[in-house]
Amino acid sequence: MKTVLFLIDGMTCHHCVKAVESALKSIGIDNYSVQIGSASVTFDENLLDEETIAAAIEDEGYKVISTQVELGDLDDFQM
């Protein structure tokens, strides 16, 4: 699993948050946190990629301006 923070331009209200949540659900993502201006999304990188997620968000009329991979829990770290 991979968690990525998407910074999103054009989100101004609660309706925008719901639209992005709907876009994520439509491509099978159920582990996310959306706020005005960003979405933290956890997904299986074997099934989806960042470009597909960004495209779903942009199809709702918003612009993904950057992405950042978030660090996982230290419990997941193996040496």
**AA identity, residue 72:** G
In this prediction the pTM is 0.85
Would you place residue 75 in the very low, low, confident or very high pLDDT band (cuts 50, 70, 90)?
very low
What is the CATH classification number for the domain harbouring 45?
3.30.70.100
Residue 44 φ then ψ, to 5°: -85, 110
Average pLDDT over residues 30-49: 96
Residue 7 lies in a domain: yes
Supply the pLDDT for residue 72. 62
**AA identity, residue 66:** S
Q: What is the mean pLDDT of the chain?
A: 91
Counting residues of the chain whose pLDDT is more than 70, the rounded percentage is 90
**AA identity, residue 44:** D
Higher pLDDT, 72 or 8: 8
Q: Is-contact 8 39, C-beta < 8 A?
A: yes
Work out the burial of residue 53: count CB atoms within 10 Å of its CB; fewer than 13 is exposed, 13-18 middle, 19 or more buried: buried
Supply the pLDDT for residue 78. 46
Domain of residue 42 covers: 2-72
- Give the separation between CA 33 and CA 74, rounded to whole angstroms: 20
The domain total for the chain is 1
